[in-house]
Amino acid sequence: MRFHAASVLVLACFVQNGNGATYQLQQLTDPGVIAEDPLLDEVPGLHVGSMLAFKANCVNVDLTGIEDAHGKATVPGAVFALEADQNEVFDPTTEPARMFFLQHDGTQRFPFRDGRFTWIIAEHFIEHIPYKAAIGFLAEARRLLAPGGTLRISTPDLAIYAAAYFDPAQV
């Protein structure tokens, strides 16, 4: 695996591959506008709080920005495509050719239209934000999900949040 200034491009699935792909950032949308781009049309999911564990087939979101091997960095509020450099060692069976990233505060309104996603994943995110921000995130997830969509939340201690949902005085 190659390590660059953008070691955030290290994905869990790449650890098994001894070479690893190099990715380049391509800005798809401007900050402050609803994110629409033909490349995003087939992206079904949103992965909130992605940190370094980027997933394919979704927009990965994290507060911390990333930088590619050429020094191009993300801009808060803009969606970027991460394109694999096809001129380097690349295994399409283990490494996605394209991923998406949005540098964004997950406790704020997302720049996507209502009902945009069929699924949202938030792994080890909700326990790091205040109770009111967590309630706001859940409302935002509901806005972003298409009818029948799925929200998957994983957290080390969901019981605290579930209890607080039924009895806010516990917070």
145-154 sheet: strands from edge to edge: 23-27, 79-84, 98-103, 58-62, 45-48, 117-123, 145-154
Per-residue pLDDT, 169: 79
- Dist CA 168 CA 107 (whole Å): 19
The residue among 57, 59, 16 whose CA lies nearest residue 36 is 59
Question: 16, 27 in Cβ contact below 8 A?
Answer: no
Tokens in use for 131? 């109770």
Does an H or E element contain 149, and which? strand 145-154
Per-residue pLDDT, 22: 79
Per-residue pLDDT, 171: 61
The list of the chain residues with pLDDT below 70 reads: 1-21, 88-90, 157-158, 170-171
